[in-house]
């Protein structure tokens, strides 16, 4: 991506985030039952969707790397995994902040929270494999297998409110949103998606630069 397009994309991301913040704090009405804390919902849910998207990219890129052994897929998987962990951390932080005034505690070991924590931990393990593994091709292959297996937990997290009995659940299964709340949520979805794509593009550029530097150092050492 050229510098001009990159700058335009950055400006679009910035404007979308401003629009999302304006919608959350100025446009959408305060929810009658939960009050102001309900506004965390507009960050919590898009962050979760962004994390799931990142993990899906890891899944596809890992399959492609095992199939083709092309480093571009390995770079994509690593970059997406880092962003998935970042957005997953946002989910795990905003969730307890919302839960404290609603549930009375910051954390309950209910199905969706527990499965999300397990999913987050699996991709942290993926990044640890990448960080502490050797420089041989074995590390990307091992990480790819882990990236594929870890994705199995994503549908489990998403459908957890339907898989367990209602008495085990604290997460609401369905939330009826008024039109302003729906519009605000859609704006936040778009803003988070653009932000995710922007970070992914920048992270890929950084990974390409790091690989080029490693190749250059290898050439200098061989000479």
User: Which ranges of the chain does DSSP label H, i.e. alpha helix?
Assistant: 3-22, 41-68, 71-103, 111-132, 138-151, 153-158, 160-163, 179-222
Q: What angle in degrees, to the nearest 10, is found between the helix axes of 71-103 and 179-222? A: 140
**What is residue 173's predicted lDDT score, i.e. its pLDDT?**
58
Q: Which residue ranges form the domains of the chain, and what is each CATH number?
A: 13-160+176-222 (1.20.120)
Evaluate if pTM is beyond 0.75: yes
Per residue in 42-84, pLDDT (tens digit) is 999 999 999 999 999 999 999 999 999 898 999 999 999 999 9
| Burial group, residue 197, by CB count within 10 angstroms (0-12, 13-18, 19+) | middle
User: Which of the residues in the chain have pLDDT under 50?
Assistant: 165, 167
- 96-108: per-residue pLDDT in tens? 898 888 878 888 8
Closest by alpha carbon to 80, among 88, 70, 92?
A: 88
| 3 state DSSP class of 120 | helix
Q: What is the DSSP letter of 105?
A: S
Encoded tokens for 5: 């397009």
Interatomic CA distance for residues 17 and 91, integer angstroms: 17
């Amino acid at each position: 991506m050229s510098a001009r397009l990159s700058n335009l994309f950055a400006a679009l991301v910035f404007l979308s985030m401003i629009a999302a913040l304006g919608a959350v704090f100025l446009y959408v009405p305060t929810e009658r039952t939960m009050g102001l804390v309900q506004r965390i919902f507009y960050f919590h849910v898009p962050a979760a969707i962004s994390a799931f998207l990142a993990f899906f990219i890891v899944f596809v890129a890992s399959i492609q790397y095992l199939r083709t052994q092309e480093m571009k897929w390995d770079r994509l998987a690593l970059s997406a995994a880092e962003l998935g962990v970042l957005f997953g951390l946002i989910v795990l932080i905003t969730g307890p902040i919302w839960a404290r005034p609603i549930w009375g505690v910051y954390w309950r070991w209910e199905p969706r929270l527990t499965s999300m924590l397990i999913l987050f931990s699996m991709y942290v393990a993926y990044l640890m494999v990448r960080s502490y593994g050797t420089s041989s091709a074995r590390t990307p292959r091992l990480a790819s297998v882990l990236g594929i297996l870890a994705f199995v937990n994503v549908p489990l997290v998403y459908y957890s409110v339907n898989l367990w009995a209602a008495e085990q659940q604290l997460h609401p299964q369905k939330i009826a949103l008024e039109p302003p709340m729906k519009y605000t949520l859609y704006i936040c979805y778009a803003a988070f998606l653009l932000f995710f794509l922007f970070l992914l593009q920048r992270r890929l550029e950084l990974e390409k630069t790091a690989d080029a530097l490693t190749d250059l150092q290898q050439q200098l050492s061989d000479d």
